[in-house]
Amino acid sequence: MLDDRDRKILNLLQANASLAVSDLADRVSLSISACSRRIQRLEDDGYIAKRVVLLDRAHAGLPTTMFVIVRTARHSAGWLEQFRAAIVDIPEIVEVHRMTGTIDYILKLVLPRVEAYDEIYKALVEKVEFFDISASVSMETLKATTAVPTHYAR
């Protein structure tokens, strides 16, 4: 069961996973050892899946975001496995979601420029049969976060 201190630790780590345990302990009014034990428990219990570094995409040469809408006429396990195999080794595809409704999948791509999408498109259609595939370029990011709300966690 999580308490308010656990949630605050999770929120602080989501904002900056490189915070020193001493800083975290100060911010949540715990001793360093008690804070360290809580962090370890949160990791052991699966609340903290992993700690990563987020790159500045412009500095990494990937300022362009595209969303690719995929519709398929096939919904078999075999097709899905073929699709997974096609997307797994394309690092520019950073997210893929299976959807409800008339859209089957949405892919989020990060690219150096719009023209780079053509290479990815060709790689996908060479490996997988689609009913329809279309792409849109993100003009502006209004909100982007990796943090999730912690008030639902039990």
| Residues 29-82 pLDDT 10s | 999 999 999 999 999 999 999 999 999 999 999 999 999 999 999 989 999 999
Domains detected in the chain: 4-44 (1.10.10.10), 64-137 (3.30.70.920)
Measured distance CA(88)–CA(68) in Å, rounded: 15
Give me the residues paired with residue 70 across strands.
105, 133
pLDDT band of residue 1 (cuts 50, 70, 90) is: confident
Burial of residue 24 (number of CB atoms within 10 Å: 0-12, 13-18, 19+): buried
Q: What value does the mean pLDDT take over residues 19-26?
A: 97
pLDDT tens track for 87-132? 999 999 999 999 999 999 999 999 999 999 999 999 999 999 999 9
| Residue 1 CB partners (closer than 8 Å, separation 6+) | 154
Measured distance CA(70)–CA(98) in Å, rounded: 9
